[in-house]
Amino acid sequence: MNILVINCGSSSLKFQLINAENEKLIAKGLCERIGIDGSKISYTPDGGEKEEKEVPMGNHTDAIRLVLEALTNEKTGVVKSLAEIGAVGHRIVHGGEKFAKSTVIDSEVLAAIEECNDLAPLHNPANLIGINACRELMPDTPMVAVFDTAFHQTMPDKAYMYGLPYEYYEKYKIRRYGFHGTSHSYVSKRAAEVLGKKYEDLKIIVCHLGNGASVSAVMNGKCVDTSMGLTPLEGLIMGTRSGDIDPAIIEFIAHKEGKSIDEIMSVLNKKSGVLGLSDNLSSDFRDLEAGYHEGSARAINTMETFAYRVAKYIGAYTAAMNGVDVICFTAGVGENSAFIRSMICNNYLGYLGVKLDEEANKKRGEDIAISTADSSTTVMVIPTNEELAIARETYRLV
Ligand code: ADP
């Protein structure tokens, strides 16, 4: 069965068509600037040429229509008709406490997702628009919702409660939810598989280091803690998000700079992280790494501060699980930057008996252990594949 995986943002839509039986990618692409001037679609059939064209897309239904046309195109398409798409898997950012698992979408599920909109006002409404657009064009195709938050729903209350008045939890469900769950789940399971060990027997820390970044603690096959919170702003220093800060800083900046809460939240989400810390050098770790080697003081301090924060979370989660067997690196930075991995492991993880295999650490694109055979804790790189994980979930449920 072919599964169409849709990741719908407010003005963009990423898609992949995956054969669920052999797990091969059939085609992928991206619609950008939906509802804005200059919208364009890019489409790449597996093994074929990437096509890009500017086409007006007034809304997400237009975008999905173009995706379906591309997939069924006589010349460059990959399926003869829509009947060859067995199901659609949708990435949904926030499932609140309602969704601890992926689920087949019906009108009740749609209403429940809508109830979580308050918790992710930028993401969930866009995800819902994507589902509705697909339902309009493929009314008989089953659809599945796969939630970024679901994997973290196994966290115990001591990990997800904040030290705030309890009534805020009761009234508004303010608590830690965590994100990137599909990636943390995929990577931790894959690590066990590659090591030939039982998932249920391991204590795993997953460092998902991309533009957005989070760490999770997975013990005996269940997530027990994660660094992102009510929103993706908490935890690590990210590309442009601040991660953990003293909440009183918000009031301080408001007074000093005469900014509103909305303006400060925008600074914390879009102008902070390694971008802000590097004094606007870049949010891209490739630039920062280059700056580091050129001796830029801001780049050096930014990289060190980023690595230090990751190492602190690894320490915290080792304590949370009373030990750790495997530490995994994944996502754009985690998969590609041997330098960051080495900074984290060589500078801070000696107490865990981590010994990095410098040659293995240079490799890319493989599921591998990058620690030596006599390292007390295994360190791995596992390239994440959220689309494949969504396709698997979708296939399993339909
Ligand atoms: P997201 O999905 O959150 O947008 P990704 O997981 O795709 O992010 O990661 C994107 C980040 O990966 C980029 O900001 C870039 O800094 C980083 N990255 C990609 N390639 C490399 C590399 N070779 N070295 C260091 N960082 C890299």
C-alpha distances (whole Å) from 52 to each of 6, 29, 80, 345, 384 are 18, 9, 21, 41, 26
| Interval between CA 67 and ligand 1 midpoint (Å) | 26
Instruction: Label the pairing between strands 143-147 and 213-219.
Output: unpaired
Angle at 358 between CA 356 and CA 360, to 5 degrees: 95
Mean pLDDT of 237-266: 97
| Interval between CA 212 and ligand 1 midpoint (Å) | 9
Select from 123, 180, 240, 285 the residue to mutate for testing ligand 1; criterion: most ligand atoms less than 8 Å from CB.
Answer: 285
| Interval between CA 384 and ligand 1 midpoint (Å) | 12
| Interval between CA 299 and ligand 1 midpoint (Å) | 16
pLDDT band at 299 (very low <50, low <70, confident <90, very high): very high
Please report the pLDDT score of residue 122 as a whole number.
82
The one-character DSSP state at 257 is: H
Please give the number of the atom of ligand 1 that sits closest to the Cα of 285: 16
Report pLDDT digits (tens) over 17-35. 999 999 999 999 999 999 9
Report pLDDT digits (tens) over 153-191. 999 999 999 999 999 999 999 999 999 999 999 999 999
Please report the pLDDT score of residue 121 as a whole number.
86
pLDDT band at 378 (very low <50, low <70, confident <90, very high): very high
Asked if residue 354 has pLDDT above 90, the reply is yes
Mean pLDDT of 345-357: 98
Phi, psi torsion values for 304, nearest 5 degrees? -65, -40
Please report the pLDDT score of residue 10 as a whole number.
83
The one catalytic residue among 62, 140, 148, 367:
148
Select from 286, 339, 382 the residue to mutate for testing ligand 1; criterion: most ligand atoms less than 8 Å from CB.
Answer: 286
Please report the pLDDT score of residue 113 as a whole number.
96
Please report the pLDDT score of residue 39 as a whole number.
94
C-alpha distances (whole Å) from 315 to each of 10, 224, 335, 348, 377 are 36, 14, 21, 9, 13
| Interval between CA 233 and ligand 1 midpoint (Å) | 18
Mean pLDDT of 307-331: 98
Q: Report the pocket of ligand 1 as residue ranges, CB < 6 Å.
A: 210-212, 239, 284-286, 289, 331-333, 336-337
| Interval between CA 322 and ligand 1 midpoint (Å) | 31
Q: How many CA atoms lie within 13 A of 333 on its CB side?
A: 30
Asked if residue 228 has pLDDT above 90, the reply is yes
Residue nearest to atom 27 of ligand 1 (CA): 333
Residue nearest to atom 12 of ligand 1 (CA): 332
Residue nearest to atom 21 of ligand 1 (CA): 336
Distance in angstroms (rounded) separating the CA atoms of residues 369 and 381 = 6
Mean pLDDT of 113-120: 92
Residue nearest to atom 24 of ligand 1 (CA): 337
C-alpha distances (whole Å) from 164 to each of 170, 172, 233, 267, 386 are 11, 12, 18, 24, 33
Asked if residue 9 has pLDDT above 90, the reply is no
pLDDT band at 326 (very low <50, low <70, confident <90, very high): very high
Please report the pLDDT score of residue 213 as a whole number.
97
Please give the number of the atom of ligand 1 that sits closest to the Cα of 384: 6
287 is known as an active-site residue: no
Asked if residue 380 has pLDDT above 90, the reply is yes
Please give the number of the atom of ligand 1 that sits closest to the Cα of 212: 3
Mean pLDDT of 284-310: 98
Whole-model pTM: value is: 0.95
Residue nearest to atom 14 of ligand 1 (CA): 284
